[in-house]
A and B are shown apart, each in its own frame.
Chain A
Amino acid sequence: TQLLEQSPQFLSIQEGENLTVYCNSSSVFSSLQWYRQEPGEGPVLLVTVVTGGEVKKLKRLTFQFGDARKDSSLHITAAQPGDTGLYLCAGQPNTGNQFYFGTGTSLTVIP
């Protein structure tokens, strides 16, 4: 059973295009994180959202936490080849110590 479902699983786009990655769950999370992982490396934290409805912007990346704190999205504007990587969402439920990770979205940006 996967607590966090990410879609799409794979995404290949041309440089300059926009894209959105989704992270959905039927569970409520006290916080949700987005990471980017490159081959052979550990995940790198991009952002943490904690308030329902919260929107955070990081240059060309926009992160949104759903009002009910069950889902999140990552939007990239004008994608660049350097954005290529595996994007992972992770959530921490209201109770417990675990972080649950989604299966990831593998993004390829073609020059």
Chain B
Amino acid sequence: NAGVMQNPRHLVRRRGQEARLRCSPMKGHSHVYWYRQLPEEGLKFMVYLQKENIIDESGMPKERFSAEFPKEGPSILRIQQVVRGDSAAYFCASSRVRDSYEQYFGPGTRLTVT
């Protein structure tokens, strides 16, 4: 079974550009979580999505950040007009059912804003 896949693994953007991060959940999983990990900090929850539905976006910054999980295709985390402070590792995790206490992580996308 393929695990959670994320691409790209590394992404470099200049200030003001857009970053698109993709996440394909494990086979049979229809729930996706996005997290951000800053150096010296733990993983911070951003958003929880089910296909075509945002369940909880309370951890997402109100501006410039958006997420979607369409009926077909991967989940996308979109960051508009990136700033240096957006540089971090972004991880997605998937679970099989809603409110499952087991989630499986992808390898992450390391975003560097220059």
Contact = CB atoms under 8 A, between A and B. Distances in A.
Interface in B77-114: 91, 93, 99, 101-108, 110
Interface residues of B, number: 26
A5 B77 CA distance: 28
A103 B43 CA distance: 7
A42 B48 contact: no
Contacts of B35: 101
Contacts of B12: none
Given A41-B108, A98-B56, A99-B33, A30 B45 contact: no
Nearest to A4: B42
Nearest to B91: A42
Interface string B33-67: 10100000111110010000001101100000000
Contact of A100 (B45, B102, B103): B45
10 contacts: A30-B101, A33-B101, A43-B43, A50-B101, A97-B48, A99-B45, A101-B35, A101-B43, A101-B44, A104-B42
Interface of A: 2, 4, 30-31, 33, 35, 40-45, 48, 50, 88, 90, 92, 96-104
Interface of B: 4, 6, 33, 35, 41-45, 48, 55-56, 58-59, 91, 93, 99, 101-108, 110
